[in-house]
Amino acid sequence: MNVRRSAAALAAVAVIGTAAPAVAADSSPSPSPSAVLPSGLYGHTDPKYDGVWRQSLALLAQHTAGVRPAAKAVDWLAGQQCADGAFAAFRADPARACDAKVMVDTNSTAAAVQALAALGGHGSATAKAVTWLKSVQNKDGGWGYTPGGPSDTNSTSVVVGALAATGLKPADVRKDGKPGGKSPYDALLKLALPCTGGDAGAGAFAYQPDKKGKLAANADATAAGVTAALGQGLAAKPAPKAGAAPHCTDSGKATPERAAANGASYLAKSVAKKGYLTSVLPGSTDQPDYGNTADAVVALAAQGGAGQAQKPLRWLEKHSEAWAKQSGPAAYAQLVFAANATGTDPRDFGGTDLVAKLSATGPAPQSATSESAEAKDSAKDSSSGFHGWWFVAACLVAGIGIGFLFSGRKNRRQP
C-alpha cells in the first residue's frame, strides 16, 4: 500500500514536494558514522522516515509467523508513542515530550496499533492511539497522512486496519461520533472508480482526487483499499471460502464488499500478463514493483481466496529475494503477509526462509511457538539448507509509509 511504500520514497517526497505517505523498503539513507541506532530497532538504515513503520511491520509479521519478538524491540516501539497517543515516523529521544515540532502521522500510528494489538498487553497504549486517530478523522470519514490533510485511500486503509485490530467496527467510527457522520467506508467508496466508461482503471481505487476532482487508478491504493473495504489490516487473512474470479460491476447499491470485488478485479487484470505490478516512479519504466505486488497478493487472497493470487505469488517466490534483502525489514514483512494470506510457508518461500531473514534484521526473537518451530525444522529438512534473507520494510516504507505517500498517496511511505 502506499502507506507502506518506502523510506526512499518518503525522502523523495520531501525533495519533490509530494504529499503522500507510504511505507516501503528499508532503503532510507544510511545513518552517519557517528549515529548509533537503537538496539531494539529493526533495520540498519536511517529510521528518520520509517522507523515506526518498519518496526511495526516487522513485529506484526513475526507474530503472524508464530515468533515472539525480543522484548526490547517491542519496548522500543511502545516507547515511541507521544502522550496524546499519536506516533511519529521516528523519535530519536523518546524521553523528551512531544511538542508541536514532532510530526506525528496517521500511518505510523495505525501501523503501531496493529502491531501492539496483535502482540497483546498494550491495551492502554492502543486505546490512546485509537482515540487520537478518531480525533483527527476528516468530515468525509477518512484520514490523510497528517492530521487535517485531505483523505487518501492508503491512510484511510491503514487506520481501518488499526480500528479492526482493536475490536472496533470501522463502519461505526464516524466523525465526532455522530450517527449521521461519515465512516471510513464512505470515504473509500468516494475514492473508487466506476466500472463503466471503458476506463483501463475500472474498479480501481485512486490515491486522492486530482485538483479537478478526477480519480486516477492507483495500484498501491487499490491493494490497500481492497483489504480495508473488507475490514482487514496489513496481515489480512484469506477469504473464508474461495470465490469466482472477481468481476467489476456498478449494479446495485455501492457497498464496501462490492468495492473490494471491483478493486480485486482491477488488480487481477493488472497482474494477469506478467505476474507483477509495475513501478510508477520516475525512470522506472516497466520495472517490477515488488512491494505493491506483495500487497496485491494479500488483497486478492483476502477478497477471493488464495487461488486468486497464485500468479503474482509464484512470481514473488521466484524474484523477490534480492529486493527484500536490499529493502529491509518492511519488505520481508510484506512477503510474510503475502505468504500468510495464501497459506504459504514463510519459512520456505521459493526456497527462502523469510522469517529467519526478517529476524536477522533486528534483535534475536525470544522464541517461536512449538508449531512454528516444527514447521521451521520441517522446512530445514526439506530444503538444501538455503535460508533466504529479506527485509519487508523497504517496500513498505517505500510502498507503505512512503507507499502511501508516493503511490498516490504517499507514499508515506512513497506514492
**CATH code of 213's domain:** 1.50.10.20
Cell 502507506, located at residue: 3
Q: Residue 314 belongs to what H/E stretch?
A: helix 310-319
User: Taking residues 227-242, what's their average pLDDT?
Assistant: 94
Is residue 239 domain-resident? yes
Task: Work out the angle at residue 204's Cα, subtended by the Cα atoms of residues 326 and 226, and round it to the nearest 5 degrees.
Answer: 70
Please provide the average confidence, as pLDDT, over all residues in the chain: 84
State residue 374's pLDDT score.
Answer: 40
CA-wise closest residue to 415 among 249, 219, 191: 219
Is residue 114 domain-resident? yes
**Residues 160 and 193 sit within 8 Å (Cβ to Cβ):** no
User: Taking residues 338-345, what's their average pLDDT?
Assistant: 97
In this model, does residue 91 exceed pLDDT 50? yes
pLDDT of 134-191, one tens digit each?
999 999 999 999 999 999 999 999 999 999 999 999 999 998 777 789 999 999 999 9
Torsion angle (degrees, nearest 10) of CA 94, 100, 104, 105: 180
The strand pair at 367-368 and 67-68 is best described as antiparallel
CA distance 276 to 288: 6
Range of the domain at 46: 4-410
State residue 306's pLDDT score.
Answer: 95
pLDDT of 262-319, one tens digit each?
999 999 999 999 999 998 877 777 899 999 999 999 999 999 999 999 999 999 999 9
Is residue 52 domain-resident? yes
CA distances from residue 265 to 79, 153, 262, 270, 339 in whole angstroms, order as listed: 41, 17, 5, 9, 21
Question: What is the reported pTM?
Answer: 0.84
State residue 15's pLDDT score.
Answer: 30
In this model, does residue 413 exceed pLDDT 60? no
Is residue 172 domain-resident? yes
pLDDT of 93-126, one tens digit each?
999 999 999 999 999 999 999 999 999 999 999 9
Is residue 265 domain-resident? yes
CA distance 327 to 304: 29
State residue 197's pLDDT score.
Answer: 67
What are the E-state strand segments in 123-240?
Answer: none
In this model, does residue 221 exceed pLDDT 50? yes
Give the total number of structural domains in the chain: 1
Is residue 255 domain-resident? yes
Is residue 415 domain-resident? no
